[in-house]
Amino acid sequence: MNNSIVVSAEFYFKGEKYTPSMVIDLDEHIRSENSDEALHLLLAKNNSIDIYSYEYEVLLDQPLRFSDAEGMARHFLNETDFDFAAFAQACQQESILETITDIARTHLAVTDLSTRPELKAALIEAFEQGRKL
């Protein structure tokens, strides 16, 4: 599933209004382990704002606004705020579910784990234990 969101800011610099914005592929953002603190930097680079300029310093002081969420990301957008931590956790849970569903289908001929909650719980626990090794 494609999860994306528009991030933007608005500020004035030397009497001129700036409204930099960009679309972020949230799946790639999570995979590359970028933090949400890096968004100001990404926003500047994607909008040709020199990171060694006063313009960038003004941008750093501005709150980021989020909009136009796509995919699962829609559930974590509240007005203009986005809950990155909750989104990342939900992506991790979805990934685990996909993995254990494939295992159940391949080795146990179970196509719907929702009908076998005890098996689902056991596979999730085994997956989590395996990650600790």
pLDDT of residue 31: 84
The domain ranges of the chain are: 4-74, 91-132
pLDDT of residue 33: 76
pLDDT of residue 133: 85
Cβ-contact 84, 78 below 8 angstroms:
no
CA 133 – CA 20 distance, rounded (Å): 44
- Across the chain, which has 133 residues, the per-10-residue mean pLDDT values are 92 96 93 81 96 95 96 95 93 91 92 92 90 86
Any idea what DSSP says for residue 24?
E
Strands 21-25 and 65-70: unpaired
pLDDT of residue 32: 83
- Count helices and strands in the chain by DSSP H and E runs: 5, 7
CA 112 – CA 96 distance, rounded (Å): 15
Name the residue with tokens 């890096």: 38
Radius of gyration (C-alpha) of the chain in whole angstroms: 20
Nearest CA to 10 among 67, 87, 52, 84? 67
